[in-house]
Amino acid sequence: MDISHLLTSHSRNMEASLVRELLYYSQQPDILSLAGGLPDENLMPVYPELKQLVDSRQYGPSEGEEALRECIVSIAAERGIQSSIGNVLVTNGSQQGLDIVSRLILDENSTILTEQPTYLAACQVFKLQGAKVQDVLSDAEGMSVSALRDAIEEYHPKAVYLIPNFQNPAGHCYSLERRREIAALLDEKNILLIEDDPYRDLCYDNVDLTPISTLIKQAPWLYMGSFSKVLWPGLRTGYIVSCDAFSPYLVKVKQAVDLHTNRLGQSMIAQFLKSGQYPDHVIKLQKAYKEKRDAMAEALQNELGDLIKFSLPAGGMFFWVKLPEGVSSQLVLTEALKDNVLVLPGTPFFPCKSPFDDSFLRLSFARVSPEQIQQAIMVIAKVIRQLA
């Protein structure tokens, strides 16, 4: 049946997420997957008992449960963002936060600037609204300020989308100087900042984590977070903390999209946060993931140090690996899968066509053990050396 005449031009042109398509393979018991951004379920706390939770059987407020929003206000305050419960919207994961913001500000006449590379699912959402996504040159300290200024002058964007802490996929963490320079430029040009910060608590080294939103003096800003990487991703719970002007509009879009976020999941997260267990849980995550990060760094250096380039991520879940010249990331995926190792090509993380988009792998260390990391990297090394 041909339904193309029923689809919008944006939905017809929408590309599938390679990450989601590869999820099938990553769930097979005989596959060692370094492809997805899945947390380690062995590190997840047990669910709170239902009898400890408030009754959540009835419909709830679109903004989110008051108890959880109060927790989010406290979390934001610890990060330097002074807000009130009225500035907090609970979403079905940070992905829905991106969707709500996109519906609110983007259309066919809009341009949004992102890092190069950037989170591929964000680009999916932006493009679904018909917006032009333009990437901006980035380095180890974040988005280039001079390149950002040039892009603002050329494209007149509606917003700039940034992941300053342990960026997905590149893993870099912005320097404080870079954060200040970007905030000053956004203030100067009065450009909206969409700041996505899902990996913040997965920090393994001493780096600056100041939200750029706290450094902005007059430009509009939206700060997004998620509980998926640190608690239970299956509950799909994230949030937006906004400057005052945006709050009523975000709630209206949320009402139109799905009325409200799952109340039971919100209650479970609020109960865990209020129980006082969260700080120790974060320390546990940091210790375990740091061990895995170090294991991957050692394996990459020992097996491929003479052929590839990579930087040690100070946090998060990913290594961004530059392949030898002429080696295709797509071909590495195909060949490694023959030996039951799954990797993710860097191609979909480039919003704009780039001569380098087939030259990178994003490797996740979060869900595999140090021993499995060593095993997988040995397979990847064998494949790369055969292709180099």
CATH code, domain carrying 19: 3.90.1150.10
pLDDT score of 51: 87
Which two tokens mark 220?
């509009």
Please say if the pLDDT value at position 99 is more than 90. Answer: yes
Q: Is the pLDDT of residue 18 over 70?
A: no
pLDDT digits (tens, 9 = 90+) for 346-374: 999 999 988 878 999 999 999 999 999 99
Identify which of 276, 274, 314 has the alpha carbon closest to the alpha carbon of residue 297.
314
- Confidence check: pLDDT of 17 > 60: no
Residue 152 pLDDT exceeds 90: yes
Residue after which a domain boundary falls, among 256, 274, 292: 274
Q: Is residue 49 part of a domain?
A: no
172 and 226 co-located in one domain? yes
Tell me, yes or no, whether 70 and 111 share the same domain: yes
Assess if residue 51 is contained within a domain: no
pLDDT one-digit tens code per residue, 103-137: 999 999 999 999 999 999 999 999 999 999 999 99
pLDDT of residue 16: 61
Among the three residues 274, 291, 323, which one is the final residue of a domain in this structure? Answer: 274
Give the predicted TM-score (pTM) of the model: 0.94
pLDDT at 4 over 90: no
Shared domain for 197 and 296, answered yes or no, is no
Tokens of 93: 């994961």
Same domain as 161, residue 116: yes
Q: How confident is the model at residue 388 (pLDDT cuts 50, 70, 90)?
A: confident
Per-residue model confidence (pLDDT) at position 12: 72
Q: Which of 198, 195, 239, 238 is nearest to 219 (CA)?
A: 195
For residue range 34-86, list pLDDT tens digits in order: 998 899 999 999 999 988 898 999 999 999 999 999 999 999 999 999 999 99
What mean pLDDT comes out for the span 241-261?
A: 96
Counted domains in the chain: 2
pLDDT at 21: 65
Residues 254 and 316 in one domain: no
105 and 239 in a single domain? The answer is yes
| Domain range enclosing 209 | 56-274
Mean pLDDT for the stretch of residues 204-218: 97
Q: Are residues 265 and 305 in the same domain?
A: no
